Amino acid sequence: MRRFIILLSLACLVVGVFSAFAQEAEPRKSEEDNGYAQISIFAKALELIRQDYVDENKTSYHDLINAAMKGMLSSLDPHSQFMDPDDFRDMQDDTRSRFNGLGIEVSMKNGLPTVITAMEDTPAAKAGILSGDQILRINGISTERMDLQDAINVLRGPAGAKIILTLLRPSTKEIKEYTLQRAEIKIQSVKGARLLDPELTGPFKIGYVRLVQFNEPTADELSKALDELQKQGMQAVILDLRNNPGGLLNSAVDVCAQFLPPNTKVVSTQGRVASQQHDYSTSGAKKERGNFPMVVLINEGSASGAEIVAGALKDLHRAVLVGETTFGKGSVQNVMQLPDGSAVRFTTAKYYTPSKQVIQGNGVTPNIRVAVTAEQERSLFALRNAGNMKPEDEKSIIKARDPQMLRAIDALKGVMIYAQENAPKAQAVKK
């Protein structure tokens, strides 16, 4: 009993501290939501479990409190979570674009871990796993009640270990089992920069760049790629954000700066408190490129930072979006480290495009909708990851497997033909 009273006293002290902060952020809650009363109920339940639960080795304060925090954070939304010290270190490794795992970006959707994208040149991509695939079992264990972080912890780990995934593909209702081997994942964010085959583009020089993820060097690498394409006479560009799961917010804003004037607002955040309301704009120091015609390719695997870029370029009428509606991950998470090295990540705001459209749950819709079949996506993805897409085969591969790319090329050709035909008229008016 003495131990319970001490625990309750400490819990009330914690509640008091949180209450002091909360009073600055929001109006006083009702008596039914009184922190002191609720924490005393929690402390009572904790002591009852420690006293009477059948397996004593599962009832340490550390394990029970950690489990409670996991449940508390996961009940809020799919992107909020509690991370123990090891999980927190893994998250920090992600920002360095290097980790061990299968190469799957995962989020919770409809109660199941769902593939946002399988990153290129990784075991998952080479096996043919696609965006939207739902993970039903990991190593034979059902994921129906599995915490997202617990699922990630199994997917990641020492290179060389084998993982068995059972996946449901909603588009075809197909259930398939994959045996994958973990590997060290190194992410190169800018790929495939080139001028497209003249047999596809006709008299026009159309550039193509694919962004795999938004990391610290992405904007600089993109800038160099665009500089090189412009030296080659590029007249228009296709920016491919398909299966791009996002990354760093500042990187996404800097990518927008490659195509928009300086000091242009590209995204804003809004939360419950004033500190979470912020506008993000392109740098005033960035050089402005020519206003060449532009198409952005998107699909269900485009998420977070990719949606910020696509939404900004669409709203500001800088690019035409071709493809399918994006994933719909448009919320801001704050990460706060706790004294023992663990951390809590919780949603504090939502992203809004320049026209105030909410990305979270809705995604960004294309101007021109072009669907692809699962077979087309699987075969195109396999060719990319096998590294056997030869330049001389590009035309036939795009025609057979990539209707979104074909529609993007046609849209740009139409814009440039129209501009050519109307240029003499515009000059005549000026005279």
| Structural domains present in the chain | 2-59 (no CATH), 86-96+98-186 (2.30.42.10), 190-422 (3.90.226.10)
**Closest by CA position to 315, among listed 278, 272, 290, 351:** 351
The tokens for 289 are 């490129």
- Supply the pLDDT for residue 241: 96
Residue 325's φ and ψ, nearest 5 degrees, are: -60, 140
Angle at 35 between CA 30 and CA 36, to 5 degrees: 115
In angstroms, rounded to a whole number, what is the distance separating the alpha carbons of residues 366 and 300? 11
- CA dist 316 and 161 (Å) reads 47
Q: Strand, helix or coil at 81?
A: strand
pTM of the complete model: 0.74
The phi and psi torsions of 421 (rounded to 5 degrees) equal: -65, -30
- Which residue's entry shows tokens 């550390």? 62
Token representation of residue 52: 């009477």
Q: What is the pLDDT along the chain (431 residues), one digit of tens a residue?
A: 445 444 444 444 344 434 444 444 454 555 567 888 899 999 999 999 999 999 999 999 999 999 999 999 989 988 888 988 877 877 766 555 557 789 888 888 888 899 987 887 789 988 889 888 999 999 999 998 888 878 888 888 888 899 999 999 988 889 999 999 999 877 778 988 999 999 999 999 999 999 988 988 899 999 999 999 999 999 999 999 998 989 889 999 999 999 999 999 999 999 988 888 999 999 887 666 788 999 999 999 899 999 999 999 999 999 999 999 999 999 888 889 999 999 999 999 999 999 999 999 899 999 999 998 877 877 776 666 555 556 666 777 787 789 999 999 999 999 999 888 876 655 544 55
pLDDT at 20: 43
Residues counted in the chain: 431
Task: Return the bridge partners of 101, or none.
Answer: 183
Active-site residues: which are they? 304, 315, 329
Which residues fall within 8 angstroms of residue 371, CB to CB, at 6 or more apart? 324, 403
What's the pLDDT at 383? 64
- Rounded-to-integer distance, Cα 329 and Cα 360, Å: 5
Q: At what angle do helices 61-74 and 35-52 cross, to 10 degrees?
A: 130
